[in-house]
Amino acid sequence: MEALEYRVERIEDLDGAAGHLLSARPNSRVMAFYGAMGVGKTTFIKAICDRLGVSDRVSSPSFPIVNQYVMEGGGQVFHFDFYRIKKPDEAFDLGFEEYIYSGHYCFIEWPEKVEELLPGDCLKVHMEDREGIRLISS
């Protein structure tokens, strides 16, 4: 699989990166977003959700751990934020496996907390901030 790389200098550029990611990886339903606090993981997920036709307000699910959004046409998107969990068993308590094997889009922030639970075909998206420029790779 060919590596994908995006250089995002302005927040407006995220839409193009989101569209390209979705078209380059049309079968990827589970995506794990790696990066430091404040690098823009939630903002990029919001851009992807916009491309998928989600009309719900996309926000970080820090306190509920998972947010559910509805796409145009009735599909679902599940957005996880595992920053606050202490051990992978907490993800089991949420029914994480049911979500990730549902066939719906699942976007995961702080996936390193549940690394051993991620499916083998999970698309790993890495984000870095280099002096205000976001580097996104997969």
Q: Domain of 113: which CATH number?
A: 3.40.50.300
pLDDT at residue 119 in the model = 96
Amino acid identity of residue 41, one-letter, is K
pLDDT for the residue numbered 3: 86
* Three-state secondary structure call for residue 121: coil
Q: Checking phi first, is residue 95 left (phi over 0); if not, alpha (psi -120 to 50) or beta?
A: left
So what's the pLDDT on residue 113? 95
Query: Which structural domain range is residue 36 located in?
Result: 5-137
| Predicted structure pTM score | 0.94
pLDDT tens across the length of the chain (138 residues): 678 899 999 988 999 999 999 999 999 999 999 999 999 999 999 999 999 999 888 888 777 799 999 999 889 999 999 999 999 999 988 899 999 999 999 999 999 999 999 999 999 999 999 998 999 999
CA–CA distance, 60 with 14 (Å, rounded to integer): 17
Q: What pLDDT shows up at residue 11? A: 87
Q: Specify the pLDDT at position 1.
A: 66
Q: How many domains does the chain have?
A: 1
Half-sphere exposure of 91 (CA within 13 A, CB side): 26
